[in-house]
Structure 1
């Protein structure tokens, strides 16, 4: 059976890091990932925070909803969701969406080079159901509203410049965004049971004020070729964007999205799949499907996704057994961590620090099952590069 081969390594600077790789293929598609031993070994016993981790990894709590972030006067938001890290001198910033309405938005925590929290601040306020999003190569955070006719807001992680609503990126039930600096586009997922997958082509790369919204067109199979077609009315009125282009491919609940080295991955929660678009060949396939695994599926409730410098994907569960699972470049899927005692929650916002040594994420509703019970964590350990 042919296997995927990823281009290893990372391009790391003050603006963006890109990870992962491209599919090398012959005539046939590779099989979706199958369960197997993870590169970090089995999960150990739960630590004091109820998190099971492989040997050599440790966790700490960064922030709790409704409480001030340690060492600051900033109160952390409810329902923490999508997030990303940005280099800040020798330190970094972790931004986190708030998936509540009508007072959602984005908060941020600042760290110095040793990982000590040095500040926290608000980035965006008074928006609705800010679920996922994505970072840009010019160091802004795209925060996406997961509501009907929702908007994308371009924000400043430092909280200095005012956020800007980017109407040209379309009005629909937005989820995640992923920037592709090679093709100079932004990919967008849609959280509808009959949703679509989009890309936004800015008139000028680095400026999202104008451009063209396009939708992916393909057949009904789980693999094949695809094309892009312009969406005539990105404002979604009177016809919603997903119904404007004949032949637009439907996806069951688009969620997380991640770009690296001529490949974009995105998740669909309605059918527990991870899709892979191979951008150099304009073909697509399944990177993971829980109905196609041998034995019990380690990954269910697929949601937010990020990547590491090794080419590994880290996929967070909404439900399931509250795990972040890893999908390796050789198509093995395995649990990386598990949160115990929080079955009424979901894991959100996985993102690596710029040096790749720390992983941030949240349990959106924590132990209470309520949006006011969110907990944001950091895991440190020997992540492979």
Structure 2
């Protein structure tokens, strides 16, 4: 019996499939999300942009690599990756997007008015390499993360008015994503290595990321249970990589997206196709989704887990790197289902999912487009009746 069949059998034998998500959140062992009908219904035929969406949702192209954004003079960057939205004083917003190329990298931004019209676009970061994902801070900066050996976090201004700042105190490693926890005043960081770690950065002064303490998650074997945090002796990794400095560190197979909401840090690992949930107050961890634990006889709807974000309803939106180019959602009731699919982009990946401040629009990119090239990236907006 292969690993997938063995694990599925264990789920059925333990009667996990018979219990709902709310029960399992209070139980000793978690029941990862299972396939089911999504809250928005089935996907319709592809629209004019090649995107399959639920009924009453529409899409539009915001930007294409190498082309001017709308009527602005700004040329959109190659390989658009992680992104986030920021509220503007005039009722509009800004969508920022990383560029995962080397050399070049960096990040750009698109400005929208209160009705969603594009009013501008600009550069917010230059001179970096392979900027993959990142995270939004409560003080309205964008943390752009380099996915390189001994890569750094750069704190940027979405408006492009202030110079970006390198934040080496947050560790030099193969960064992927960041998620800010304002309750415990820490920043969680994922690492894209096959034996990567989950870190948290504790700033010396909240709101200032120039100094602080880098810690790594520690725990025993398994996928659920209590966790602890240990200080990383040398965040600059002058001799030993950060992930190898603490013997008790928990290693994860390819850390990807990271999202914080309501006391939970959600993060994905692509090597084993899992979505994890860290209870930040209780310092416990469990699986929210694992394609090996889908019920016997059912297909796993989510594969190639990557960037992750959340909506006001508590739904998680998980983008696929490969797979069948879907964004899948995981509901608070532990149901996983496709939300959209991009057709004809089989050599690409979905990146940068982020909601507008009012929650009515979802932005994302096909990083390498239909051609499978970093020079063919496309950034989209989806609008519709998202539940609040």
TM-score class normalised by the smaller sequence: over 0.9
Matched, 1:120 2:121: yes
Shift of 1:123: 0.2
Q: Tell me the equivalent position of 1:346.
A: 349
- 3-state SS of the aligned residue for 2:169? helix
- 3-state SS of the aligned residue for 2:46? coil
Q: What's the Cα RMSD here?
A: 1.1
Matched, 1:303 2:306: yes
What is the TM-score of this pair, normalised by structure 2? 0.94
What is the TM-score of this pair, normalised by structure 1? 0.94
Alignment of 1:287-326 (within 5 A): 287-294=288-295, 295-326=298-329
Shift of 1:71: 1.2
Q: Tell me the equivalent position of 2:61.
A: 61
Q: Tell me the equivalent position of 1:9.
A: none
Alignment of 1:164-243 (within 5 A): 164-243=165-244
- 3-state SS of the aligned residue for 2:379? strand
Matched, 1:381 2:384: yes
Shift of 1:5: 4.3
Matched, 1:361 2:339: no
Q: Tell me the equivalent position of 1:86.
A: 86
Q: Tell me the equivalent position of 1:255.
A: 256
Q: Tell me the equivalent position of 2:339.
A: 336
- 3-state SS of the aligned residue for 1:168? helix
Shift of 1:236: 1.0
- 3-state SS of the aligned residue for 2:55? coil
Shift of 1:24: 4.4
Deviations 1:190-217 (A, max 9, x none): 0000000000000000000000000000
Q: Distance in 2 between matches of 1:265 and 1:382?
A: 24
Deviations 1:223-260 (A, max 9, x none): 11100000000001200000000110000000000000
Matched, 1:71 2:52: no
Q: Distance in 1 between matches of 2:219 and 2:76?
A: 42
Q: Distance in 2 between matches of 1:219 and 1:375?
A: 42
Q: Tell me the equivalent position of 2:99.
A: 98
Q: Distance in 2 between matches of 1:24 and 1:361?
A: 30
Q: Distance in 2 between matches of 1:94 and 1:31?
A: 35
Alignment of 1:42-53 (within 5 A): 42-53=42-53
Q: Distance in 1 between matches of 2:65 and 2:52?
A: 22
Q: Distance in 1 between matches of 2:25 and 2:35?
A: 21
Q: Tell me the equivalent position of 2:273.
A: 272
- 3-state SS of the aligned residue for 1:265? strand
Matched, 1:154 2:152: no
On the 8 A contact 1:2/1:29 being kept in 2, the answer is no
Shift of 1:30: 2.6
Shift of 1:289: 0.2
Figure out how many residues of one structure are paired with residues of the other and give that number: 368
Against the structure 1 CA distance between its residues 24 and 296, is the aligned structure 2 distance closer, same or farther, given a 3 Å change threshold? closer
Q: Tell me the equivalent position of 1:10.
A: none
Q: Distance in 1 between matches of 2:325 and 2:364?
A: 12
Q: Distance in 1 between matches of 2:375 and 2:127?
A: 17
Q: Distance in 2 between matches of 1:56 and 1:215?
A: 44
Q: Distance in 1 between matches of 2:146 and 2:322?
A: 21
- 3-state SS of the aligned residue for 1:291? helix
- 3-state SS of the aligned residue for 1:115? coil
